[in-house]
Structure 1
């Protein structure tokens, strides 16, 4: 396994772990602050939009930059 393959796998695995950990942090924050259902929805919506933006950025980079 060369360095590029290892980096690609590590990025996918560790970023997935980080997003799951951030989800736990947001859930704990909402629970401790007694945010309620709507507050938890907003917290997870913002986290989800951030993750979606990161994934969408990577898709755009691969589609536009690496196609050339």
Structure 2
């Protein structure tokens, strides 16, 4: 499709699609903290608990980038 093979399309979708979804999830967590009037510590706890799983995906990308260099 458009001169790309399946591997290139999958890489693009995984990298940028999931990255965009992660940014949207961070927006949702921020909106949740704002609407619940969580305060500074409550907002920190929300981001720590709900966004901690995203750190693994980012770390995977960084590790792959370091290994490929």
TM-score class, shorter-chain normalisation, is 0.7 to 0.9
| 1:31 equivalent in alignment to 2:34 | yes
RMSD over aligned Cα atoms: 2.0
| 1:40 equivalent in alignment to 2:47 | no
- Consecutive unaligned residues of structure 2, counting only runs of 5 or more, are 65-69
Structure 1 segments of 4 or more deviating over 3 A? 53-59
In the superposition, the TM-score normalised over structure 2's length comes to 0.72
- Mapped to 2, the partners of 1:31 and 1:45 lie a distance apart of 15
In the superposition, the TM-score normalised over structure 1's length comes to 0.73
- Mapped to 1, the partners of 2:60 and 2:13 lie a distance apart of 19
For this pair of structures, how many residues does the alignment match? 60
